[in-house]
Amino acid sequence: MTSTPPLVIAVDGPAASGKGTVAKALAAHFGLPFMDTGKLYRACGLAVRLAGHDPYDAKAAEQAARALNPALLDDADLMSALNSDYASIVSSHAGVRAALFDVQRAFARQAGGAVLDGRDIGTVIAPDAIAKLFVTAAADVRAARRHAELCARGAEHTLADVLADIHARDARDSGRSAAPLVQAPDAALLDTSDLGIAAAVAAAIALVERARAGTGR
């Protein structure tokens, strides 16, 4: 009797594409545990900030990643715009990515399956995932979404500044030598530029179901 392989869903994409919202919804729909891997890098960036180090200091960033305090994952400043910049910078260091690799791989390899979202899930962390989605949207759309989020938190940023930050993050994420942001060859593309949350989630569920059907799982 052949056992059914665990359902692992990899969701990748650039900042503010909607990948986190989609991934959480997929986890709820399929009853799977969820990991927002970006928070690990945000926590690392926060640790570097709190220690007074330069995020471009690869050695300091790697040390912070290897000694990461889980309590930072719940810090109120984790999702701030400043910390977002730190996270984007420290995540470009190969040593940081290596230090955080095992915890992500272990989560992906749970017996019952899992949903992970990030930027290298389908290419590095879970290359054998049954379903892979690459969630994206036009840069101006992503900037508008992020600007609305920041305004809701009381932060004062112009839309132009947010758009510039989106472009800078895209360049760092796609241009780094260690696990760059790239669509896996077997990942389904989901462009959310013109989709509301409900429509994006419905499309994502359909893509996962199609992937499962294609593998017979």
In a domain, 179, yes or no: yes
In a domain, 214, yes or no: no
In a domain, 200, yes or no: yes
pLDDT digits (tens, 9 = 90+) for 41-55: 999 999 999 999 999
pLDDT digits (tens, 9 = 90+) for 123-143: 999 999 999 999 999 999 999
Supply the pLDDT for residue 179.
86
Confidence of residue 216 (pLDDT cuts 50, 70, 90): very low
In a domain, 215, yes or no: no
Count of domains observed in the chain: 1
Query: Which CATH number goes with the domain that contains 97?
Result: 3.40.50.300
- pLDDT > 80? residue 215: no
In a domain, 144, yes or no: yes
Indicate the DSSP class of residue 189. Answer: E
The domain of 193 spans: 7-209
Distance linking the first and last C-alpha atoms of the chain: 14
Confidence of residue 1 (pLDDT cuts 50, 70, 90): very low
In angstroms, the CA 8 to CA 184 distance is 15
